[in-house]
Amino acid sequence: MSQAPSRIERRFRALHEQSRAALVTYVMAGDPDADTTLDLLHALVAGGADILELGVPFSDPVADGVAIQLAAGRALRSGMNLPGVLDLVRRFRERNGETPIVLMGYLNPIERMGYGAFAAAASAAGVDGVLTVDLPPEEGEGLLPALREARLAPIFLVAPTTTDRRMAWICEQAQGFVYYVSLKGVTGAASLDLEAVGERLAVVRALTSLPVGVGFGITGPEQAAAVAAVADAVVVGSALVKTIAGGNPGTLPEQITAQVSALRVAMDEAPRARGIAP
């Protein structure tokens, strides 16, 4: 069965041809409000983000560290909800038809909207993938078929604790890319062990032809560059969310563009410096 390649596939192919790793950025929808988030999404792209992860705020984010917990609180107080997130995506697509968007959140808000209704609305809004942090594939019999039906990529986490056998099974269910959690911890933790990441990444790569992204705990250009040398994608979230939390709304888009640009430049230089890229 051949279907037209998705935005995510097209983006990874293009980057692969250039021997570049993808920069995946995470911000929380509605932090501090919907209009600012919309500006920030464009600012992220302007800085060199290849794929946008958009956080869907949830009241009980068990996998998130303090920075993203606080962001979720701000977003909820601004009135953001799942329909609001989809509306944001729709507005983003008015000006950008190419940059893939992955929603990242927790199951209960999706469950409340209804799996089928959510998948159809997300697809219509221009969403490309969905990462539901508290939904391991074995609990996905309701949501996953609905996502596939709507041509949305189900994206899964694999962790340092995931066994090889389970990793193979998760990779079979995944589309778009596989998200390797770089550490035992919550988002934004600061104990990234690059050597260990490299070793586990080799195992993941042997199991799947999908691109492999690495995230959790990547804070600055140096780490992003080091991860870019071994991974297909580098995910940066909490570091950007902290900038948003402390930023002046007027200059925030410029600040974010500059922060992303620094990551992008470091990543693009790194593989050559290490002699990996052709």
Q: Is 196 in the site for other proteins (CB under 8 A)?
A: no
Q: Is the sign of the CA dihedral 171, 130, 102, 149 positive or negative?
A: positive
Q: Is 163 in the site for other proteins (CB under 8 A)?
A: yes
Q: Is 65 in the site for other proteins (CB under 8 A)?
A: yes
In what order do the strands lie in the sheet containing 101-105?
153-154, 129-132, 101-105, 51-55, 22-28, 233-236, 212-215, 178-181, 157-158
Q: Is 161 in the site for other proteins (CB under 8 A)?
A: yes
For residues 125 and 84, is the Cβ–Cβ distance under 8 A? Answer: no
Q: Is 62 in the site for other proteins (CB under 8 A)?
A: yes
The yes-or-no answer on residue 31 being catalytic is: no
Query: Which of 16, 77, 184, 274 is in the footprint of other proteins by CB under 8 A?
Result: 184
Q: Is 181 in the site for other proteins (CB under 8 A)?
A: yes
The yes-or-no answer on residue 33 being catalytic is: no
For residues 103 and 127, is the Cβ–Cβ distance under 8 A? Answer: yes
Comparison of 43 and 170: residue with beta carbon closer to other proteins: 170
Helix-then-strand count for the chain, H and E: 12, 9
How many angstroms from the chain centroid is the CA of residue 67?
A: 16
Q: Is 19 in the site for other proteins (CB under 8 A)?
A: no
Indicate which residue of 9, 50, 53, 128 is catalytic.
53
Q: At what angle do helices 82-93 and 34-47 cross, to 10 degrees?
A: 50
Q: Is 108 in the site for other proteins (CB under 8 A)?
A: yes
- Site size for other proteins (CB under 8 A): 43
Comparison of 83 and 249: residue with beta carbon closer to other proteins: 83
Residue type for 134, please? D
Q: Which residues bind other proteins (CB under 8 A)?
A: 58-65, 69, 73, 76, 81-83, 106-113, 133-136, 138-139, 156-163, 166, 170, 181, 184-186, 189
> Which residues participate in catalysis according to the annotation?
53, 64
